[in-house]
A and B are shown apart, each in its own frame.
Chain A
């Protein structure tokens, strides 16, 4: 019984990660230029070509991983990427928060929640502090699922 509920819990977590990845991807795919400027706003000392490449590839990586996790097909690799992405986001948003950068994280399109650009909720959800907490939680969930799969549990 415990195994069944544990498996159901893992499925729910996998679906949750899938939805988050797809949601994050769609907003970025809709406007790659904006995602690029979001990356630039983090002021990471990266060559321009790398930030441009990241803006082009990351949204599609998120989308593919989200779809693969939802479809439960080759999910090991998708979980690997999900962890890598969320861990990277944790570091990037964490350094922005530590440096006191007042930026919108560029993570999600909040219009789907009916939030306007000026709302205080929108500002809070897109703040570096909330973004780093959210990314860390999601990275932890992905890591948990990877460990679970490594133990042979489904």
Chain B
């Protein structure tokens, strides 16, 4: 049997590495609470009202190990950094939504929203904030509580948008949910597990 050439051996090894990465990636993604999901079809934009109640879960978990990237356009970046908006956890946010008090706003890019979002959230992408915020302000009363989230604790556009809605559009109670979509994924995943679901029903 002829020994394989270095190039052939390299290509074979490269193919094996790719195969191993594919298997590991698919297996890990299947069990990861923050795994990539098939986007919901069709993508929808809904409002957080009592018509879309969000079930309460007994506790929320901290977020670990997330990384992030999100689109931020400088032109849409609000100005002041002082007096940051109040922060809320997903557990608090869920209670506010379930009671019909709050509107949930997703500050991520439209594509990220389409790939997955918290049920009942409204898409108001930070990169088109200037264009869409006016319409948002006209359709949502100023005395309504607004909770803004982005991808995870690694992004800051939810805080910036919350500040802009409060300082420039006159919303009195705007809060930042710094854990973002990742916190919701982790918390709801935990709540969906059989033992914890049983605990939640008690």
**Inter-subunit contact B35/A33 (CB<8 Å):** yes
A135 contacts the other chain (CB 8 A)? no
**Inter-subunit contact B109/A37 (CB<8 Å):** yes
Residues in B with CB closer than 8 Å to A102 are 71-74, 127
**Inter-subunit contact B36/A68 (CB<8 Å):** no
**Inter-subunit contact B18/A61 (CB<8 Å):** yes
Of residues 82 through 114 on chain A, the ones whose CB sits less than 8 Å from some CB of chain B are 101-106, 108-109, 111
**Inter-subunit contact B71/A32 (CB<8 Å):** no
Of the candidates A27, A30, A57, A78, the one whose C-beta lies within 8 Å of that of B25 is: A57
Interface stretch among B46-54, B85-93, B140-148, B151-159? B151-159
What count of chain A residues pass the 8 Å CB interface test? 46
B32 contacts the other chain (CB 8 A)? yes
**Inter-subunit contact B72/A29 (CB<8 Å):** no
A33 vs B181: C-alpha distance in the bound complex, in angstroms? 10
A74 contacts the other chain (CB 8 A)? yes
The distance from the CB of A14 to the nearest CB of chain B, in whole angstroms, is 16
Interface of A is mostly: helix
A142 vs B140: C-alpha distance in the bound complex, in angstroms? 54
Residues in A with CB closer than 8 Å to B37 are 33
Residues in A with CB closer than 8 Å to B11 are 77
**Inter-subunit contact B112/A37 (CB<8 Å):** yes
Chain B: residues with CB nearer than 8 A to chain A?
6, 9-14, 16-18, 20-22, 24-26, 28-29, 32, 34-39, 64-74, 108-109, 111-112, 115-116, 127, 151-156, 181-182, 185
